[in-house]
Structure 1
Amino acid sequence: MKYDQIPSKLFTKNRKNFMAKMKPKSVAVFNSNDIYPISADSTMPFQQARDIFYLTGADQEETILVLFPDAPNKEHCEMLFVRETNDHIAVWEGEKLTKEKATEVSGIKSVFWLKEFDKIFFEVMTQAERVYFNTNEHYRQSVETETREDRFIKTTKDKFPAHSWERSNPILQRLRSVKDKIEIDLIQTACNITEKGFKRILNFVKPGVWEYEIEAEFMHEFLRNRSRGFAYTPIVGSGNNANVLHYVVNNQQCKKGDLILLDVGAEYANYSSDMTRTIPVGGKFSKRQREVYDAVKRVKDDATKMLVPGNYWKEYHEEVGKLMTKELLGLKLLDKADVKNEDPNWPAYKKYFMHGTSHHMGLDTHDYGILWEKMTEDMVFTVEPGIYIPAEGFGVRLEDDVVIQKKGEPFNLMRNIPIEAEEIEELMNK
């Protein structure tokens, strides 16, 4: 891995918190991701399943975590199963986790080779009454591929039909949504790398440059700062491309007078950053572009102040909608009749701002978090309002990542990334 090793005390704490929520005489199992094939002998780059990483720090394929707090054999309370390594694997694939290294990374003392799993798991299941399965219940999930976790659930239900089943996800949703200081520091590192990428392209962008060249400049800076690359598929949308919310082809030439919407974030140690900036290709905003930019910035600043403990996600978005409606009236994109006659299920402002303002962020860019429960201290949210005007050929979105504080306004992890229009123009024209 490119990143520095994360202190194992984080994963020890995470497991302790998870096991404290388990019912008596229960066992919980977590599987690594598969390595997915492309064709012939080609595969996609491996990325670890975030839940097992959250609980172990083991960033390797063919890994299984078993938690059994009430195990009669205390060696079975926490078990990590890893792929057995040897000299041949070391030559062809590089270093893999030894038992000793797996303990160092995860803090788990009982480490076994994967070939021992079936025998030990059968013994554990004769002593347990229920199994916690790890299903993907994120509100945005739309996964059709059968995962290693899915196959394990099917097999286990066939082998042990008399056991009771429980769900790990509700526990993880609550635990993962509140970040440890170590996690916040890792997200800050990802944001710092994103900052370096953004400052790099401010000196690079000029009329005639291609969107994919800007993407390449970001990737160069990310890789040279120990990131694996983008935390999500980057959006580099110039001109009207900014009005396509998930524009990712990044294959058009940037023209003088256009704006470029950059929705780009680096990952670090599997943790995400998520930044959006909108900049002028020629280094100067037009009067109209600046009016819209400033309106979006005001909404972002006021929305940020509402991310405090005790608030609810739904009500927060309703209040942001009111802020945006006011700005759109000021820009003469809406009039009073539009607002008076609006559909409550699709307010008038949605014509120009059709997505949400904030989502949880962490190990996943759209991270875990139960939306109908109160916001709490140490949750990390994005703040990303936008105004999209296809008729005028441009769109503006601005986005920072912030940490909810016990008191006062959230802490901005992207505080050092230029966002003021004057600063962006100054840096682009140096």
Structure 2
Amino acid sequence: MADSTDTVTTPAPRTNENRSTTPASSVFKEYISSRWAERTDAMPGAREQASFAAARRERLSELYPGQRLVIPAGRLKQRANDTDYAFRAHSAFAYLTGWGSDSEPGAVLVLEPRRGGAGHDATVYFRERAGRDSDEFYANPEIGEFWIGARPSIAQVASDLAVAVRGIADLDHVFTVVDTETLVLREADPAFTLRVDEARLRFAAEKVLNNNASDTPFSLEVNDEHEQDARLARDLSEMRLVKDPYEIEQMRQAVAATARGFDDVIRDLPRSSSHARGERLVEGVFNTRARVDGNTVGYDTIAASGPHACILHWTRNDGPVAPGDVILLDAGIELDSYYTADITRTLPVNGTFSDVQRRVYEAVREAADAAFAVARPGSVFRDVHAAAMAVIARRTAEWGMLPVTADEALSPENGHHRRYMVHGTSHHLGLDVHDCARARRDMYMDAVIEPGMVFTIEPGLYFQPDDLTVPAELRGIGVRIEDDILITADGAENLSAAIPRTADDVEAWIARLQA
């Protein structure tokens, strides 16, 4: 990577003054700011999701009459020294603006209540590009166009998102008066939230002084405001439980891209299985598809072969992919809109399940099918998990692993069968791989399933290699089958049904792609 300098109008957060080689003479500054072609900025039309984002803002506005709502996109996060992770805006910001992988670090959405009327006026604030007469243009490695490429103008973003847009400097008005009517999405940008909290304290202190109540005990606690902020985060999660038509189409596209990634992995299995760290090759092949067909992976790919398949979130991916083992691939592609798939398939490395592997695999598929049968409008979300668990309990009891009957294991005070599947069967899916995580339990786990919900069904069986309750021939086998489903008016659609699921179909899939 090239070095950078700290001779900037707006300094980057981590400068490199001790190794800067950027010229700083007045002659250089004058020369580099001259003789540039005039910018010819094309005005984009409003993106497809702009109208959906506007409707979401209106729904949020109805929940908070008269209150200012502040939703930051977040900032770059440091990886090491002066290098950062790739920026990803907070999902709530993306949901309310439609700005995805092309969003700008440090941007903030403000919903300002209208004076004397209902509703809010929405404005996006972001750091506009520097003029070519500014040293920020060439010397700031965080935002300078010499370093990161062309950046959009305020007018372009306003046209693209179909929302009012202003420069980041204009955001200071938010901190002029920050009272109990100003709420912020706290987790999105901790530094910004700290400024809000400091402004709240100043406002509270000034209020005490203005009321001539200096003898009244004054507390610096802002717990009430924090509780209101938490309510905002909760409501933004719950709004996303039911997807709109744009979101559903994005989910279809994310699943289709993920299916292509699985095909790529299978085609490359002979190469992966010949390398000492074959799991890394599997991960790399899938991630290549994610970068070609989407923004990136929606979460760290799990490429778990052999006994690693028994580790639920194995992401080190540094082991071999040995013929005779199965490899559990849990992966999803995130589109530029940030919507992600989440699919798992368990594949025999050499193309054929052994009898023992097939037995475990088909038991897991039976559990998934039982969960599918329950996933329909009017059912309770937790009943999907219960249906899968009934199969897991029955099969592990049949195989002699439980010290009690299946029915006894299923009683709330027991749960012996959960030793072999400690995770849940389903979670909501969308902008986040574990979507809507701030929703209340009665809106999530105990909620009635509605059309438009998208969630996973992912039972599994994991027999640790040193688990003495497991028959020896099953030890070291881990199987998970995960699909993404959409609840429809009269049932459920398996969005990932085109990716083979049965043991026979998986073997045929591998044979076809490796022929």
- 417-426 vs 390-399, which deviates more? 417-426
Q: State the 1:100 CA deviation.
A: 1.8
After superposition, where does 1:232-381 map in structure 2 within 5 Å?
232-268=299-335, 269-334=337-402, 336-337=404-405, 340=408, 344-368=412-436, 369-373=439-443, 374=447, 375-381=449-455
Q: Higher Cα Rg: structure 1 or 2? A: 2
Q: State the 1:134 CA deviation.
A: 1.6
Maintained 8 Å contact 1:312/1:371: no
Amino acid at match of 2:198: T
- Distance, in Å, in 1 between the alignment partners of 2:118 and 2:146 is 36
Maintained 8 Å contact 1:400/1:414: yes
Amino acid at match of 2:126: V
1:403 is aligned to 2:486: yes
Amino acid at match of 1:30: I
Amino acid at match of 1:361: L
Give the equivalent residue in structure 1 for 2:194. 151
Q: State the 1:340 CA deviation.
A: 3.1
Give the equivalent residue in structure 2 for 1:41. 82
Give the equivalent residue in structure 2 for 1:193. 257
Q: State the 1:183 CA deviation.
A: 0.8
Amino acid at match of 2:53: F
The structure 1 residue matched to 2:127, chosen from 83, 91, 96, is 83
Amino acid at match of 2:485: V
- Distance, in Å, in 1 between the alignment partners of 2:191 and 2:118 is 27
The structure 2 residue matched to 1:9, chosen from 26, 51, 54, is 51
How many residue pairs are counted as aligned between the two chains?
Answer: 412
Amino acid at match of 2:246: I
Give the equivalent residue in structure 1 for 2:182. 131
- Distance, in Å, in 1 between the alignment partners of 2:463 and 2:268 is 26
Q: Percent identity?
A: 27
Three-state SS of the structure 2 residue aligned to 1:233 is coil
The structure 2 residue matched to 1:64, chosen from 100, 108, 132, is 108
State the Cα deviation string for residues 128-159 of structure 1 (Å, max 9, x = none). 861222245xxxxxxxx972453244233224
Q: 1:417 to 1:315 in 2, by over 3 A?
A: closer
Three-state SS of the structure 1 residue aligned to 2:296 is coil
The structure 2 residue matched to 1:96, chosen from 151, 160, 168, is 151
Q: 1:295 to 1:253 in 2, by over 3 A?
A: same
- Distance, in Å, in 2 between the alignment partners of 1:95 and 1:330 is 63
- Distance, in Å, in 1 between the alignment partners of 2:356 and 2:338 is 39
Could you tell me which runs of 5 or more consecutive residues in structure 2 were left unpaired when the two chains were aligned.
1-45, 138-143, 208-221, 466-474
Q: 1:188 to 1:323 in 2, by over 3 A?
A: same
- Distance, in Å, in 1 between the alignment partners of 2:484 and 2:196 is 35
Q: 1:173 to 1:245 in 2, by over 3 A?
A: same
State the Cα deviation string for residues 118-137 of structure 1 (Å, max 9, x = none). 13x256x48x861222245x
Give the equivalent residue in structure 2 for 1:139. none
- Distance, in Å, in 1 between the alignment partners of 2:455 and 2:120 is 37
Q: State the 1:13 CA deviation.
A: 1.0
State the Cα deviation string for residues 220-248 of structure 1 (Å, max 9, x = none). 222222x1221101111111001111111
Task: Give RMSD over aligned pairs.
Answer: 2.6
The structure 2 residue matched to 1:208, chosen from 262, 274, 291, is 274
- 54-63 vs 329-338, which deviates more? 329-338
Amino acid at match of 2:85: M
Give the equivalent residue in structure 2 for 1:168. 232
1:389 is aligned to 2:496: no
Three-state SS of the structure 2 residue aligned to 1:402 is strand
Q: Which has the higher contact order (CA 8 A, sep 6+)?
A: 1
State the Cα deviation string for residues 179-228 of structure 1 (Å, max 9, x = none). 11101111211111110010111122134341111111111222222x12
Maintained 8 Å contact 1:57/1:106: yes
Amino acid at match of 2:332: G
Q: 1:71 to 1:102 in 2, by over 3 A?
A: farther
Maintained 8 Å contact 2:72/2:189: no
After superposition, where does 1:114-125 map in structure 2 within 5 Å?
114-119=168-173, 121=174, 125=177
State the Cα deviation string for residues 282-322 of structure 1 (Å, max 9, x = none). 11000111111111111111102212223333343233322
- Distance, in Å, in 1 between the alignment partners of 2:119 and 2:487 is 39
Maintained 8 Å contact 2:75/2:189: no
